[in-house]
Chains A and B, each alone.
Chain A
């Protein structure tokens, strides 16, 4: 059967692709941990559990904890910038 060339409806985000391959070099001195609470009911409890597990296995030298003002909106840019600047690893939790 003959072939036909059709349009592809999907657009690939360059930003998303770049984000997926981003790496961060962690100092041998220890891990700077960031925690972003999405403000749902049990996000704080889940984050605390994860932080406890990480601190058991890794030398955590600092912990920066922030909470989104609304569960339904993106974190403010200044919060994200602060977490990015002060953390080697940021965990964000969604939990009900």
Chain B
């Protein structure tokens, strides 16, 4: 196999259908290859264009995606990215995100197949986020921006088609979530009074990175009255504390998204991220009597016997086990709405920098295109 055209002729790689948009979509939907929405037909030319931003061998797996543990090659990822409507320059972000969520500590196998409604959120930091126009402002978690919508969708299609997270087959979510259609956002670094996420997690400010987290949908925190850090964070801590989350049963790493106005008010109070996390750790707690007697007995007294075996009914139940487990980023436009994101529980955020094939930090997405043109071994199978 040396070209995309030859790959398409291999068993299991190509499907011959009538050259008609409606018929193509009927066929793909019937085979369970979509998210239910119409897809862009993955033609040879579109797959080749997508791989124009891939500087690695096209048929060498970059990861294996659970629960099927199927090899994710750039070729197969590219088919899904085309179907999602991605522009080719998005491809390195998609590949990096898939690599990140396939690291064992992320626990993708459980996130994909659980009855819980979680989905992997992709947070993009750095100059490449700006270059691609990934929304970090108004409605960043909602519709309207091509990069957010299609990068998140490409990853979901890969999770379904390569990983096997087919609803009722490999994805057994009781309810599911709209976040399972697409879940991708950039941090609003220009409105962040503190270090952006990738820098906090040990990478240079000029690097671009992807952080993946296994989360529920955003839960709004509206506070337009509080005028200092303690007030705003008291409201956020109260929102983080709820009896139905998974977080208190695990060493959860919940996400707190501060809107720029809340972040500015908190920073003007002189608080840094460490103090924010310490405050939320101490305040995001509920008295045990708010939980059902069965949960108290089976999940707290038995499951966490060291802490709760003999605890009184007023004893505080911690939503977060350690302050540093809380992830704080800044996203959004004007307004006084922040958000809390409960987690799947048994999952750890993973950050990966966006690197070119030689392992160097990419300064621009176009480095992937130029290096691809300079290498002759990309097509070789």
Is B14 an interface residue when CB atoms closer than 8 A count as contact?
yes
For B75, list chain A residues within 8 Å (CB).
Answer: 7
Interface centre among B41, B79, B114 (most CB of A within 10 A): B79
Asked whether, in the complex, the Cβ of B17 is within 8 Å of the Cβ of A4, the reply is: yes
User: Using Cβ atoms and an 8 Å threshold, which residues of chain A touch B72?
Assistant: 11
A70 and B346 contacting across the interface, CB-CB below 8 Å: yes
B376 contacts the other chain (Cβ, under 8 Å)?
no
Complexed CA–CA distance, A11 and B298 (Å)? 41
Chain A minimum-CB-distance residue to B347: A72
Indicate whether B349 reaches chain A with its CB closer than 8 angstroms.
no
In the bound complex, residues from chain A placing their C-beta under 8 Å from that of B44 are 5, 7
Contact check, A16 vs B68: say whether CB atoms are below 8 A apart. Answer: yes
Q: Mark B1-41, 1 if CB is under 8 A from A, else 0.
A: 00000001100111111111001100010010100000001
Given A4-B18, A10-B12, A13-B70, 10 further pairs, Cβ under 8 A: A3-B17, A4-B24, A4-B41, A6-B15, A6-B42, A7-B78, A8-B13, A9-B42, A11-B76, A72-B114
CB distance from B74 to the nearest CB of A (A): 12
**Judging by beta carbons under 8 Å apart, are A7 and B12 in contact?**
no
Q: How far is it, in angstroms, between the C-alpha of A68 and the C-alpha of B64 when the chains are bound?
A: 23
Interface residue B321 (Cβ < 8 Å from any Cβ of A): no
**A36-56 contact mask (Cβ, 8 Å, vs B): 1 or 0:** 000001000000000000000
Known: A3-B17, A73-B346. A8 touches B70 (CB 8 A): no
**For residue B299, which residue of chain A has the nearest CB?**
A41
CB of B73 to closest CB in A, whole Å: 7
> Is B69 at the interface (CB under 8 A from chain A)?
yes
Closest residue of chain A to B71, judged by CB?
A11
Given A5-B8, A5-B14, does the pair A72, B250 have CB atoms closer than 8 Å? yes
Number of interface residues of A (CB under 8 A): 20
> Which residue on A lies nearest to B109, using beta carbons?
A74
Q: Does A12 make an interface contact (CB < 8 A)?
A: yes
* Bound-state Cα–Cα, A5 to B344, Å: 40
Chain B residues with Cβ under 8 A from A1's Cβ?
18-20, 23
A6-B68 contact given A11-B73, A70-B346, A74-B110, CB 8 Å threshold: no
Number of A-B contacts (CB under 8 A): 103
Q: For A73, give its contact among B43, B110, B158, B298 (CB under 8 Å).
A: B110
The answer, yes or no, to whether B260 is at the interface (CB within 8 Å) is: no
Confirm or deny: A2 has a beta carbon within 8 angstroms of a beta carbon on chain B. Answer: yes
Do the beta carbons of A13 and B82 come within 8 Å of each other? no
B107 in contact with A73 (CB, 8 Å): yes
With A11-B71, A13-B70, A72-B107 as contacts: A3 and B18 at CB distance below 8 Å: yes
- Per CB-CB distance, the 7 closest pairs between chain A and chain B, nearest first, are A72-B346, A7-B79, A7-B42, A9-B161, A4-B19, A11-B70, A13-B70
Q: Chain A residues with Cβ under 8 A from B57's Cβ? A: none
Interface check A15, CB cutoff 8 A: yes
User: In this complex, what residue of A is CB-closest to B162?
Assistant: A11
CB closest chain-B residue, reference A70: B346
Nearest-CB distance from B372 to chain A (Å)?
19
Q: A3-B17, A16-B68, A72-B114 are in contact. Are A8 and B12 (CB under 8 A)?
A: yes
B125 within 8 A of A: no
In the bound assembly, the distance between CA atoms of A12 and B64 in angstroms comes to 11
B332 at the interface (CB under 8 A from A): no
B19 near A3 (CB under 8 angstroms)? yes
Whether a CB of chain A sits under 8 angstroms from the CB of B88 is no
Quote the shortest CB–CB distance from B171 to chain A (angstroms). Answer: 15
B43 to chain A: closest residue by CB: A6
B33 cross-chain contacts in A, Cβ below 8 A: 8-10
Q: B356 on the interface (CB 8 Å rule)?
A: no
Which residues of A have CB within 8 Å of B43? 4, 6-7
Cα(A3)–Cα(B8), bound, Å: 14
B69 near A72 with CB under 8 A, answer no
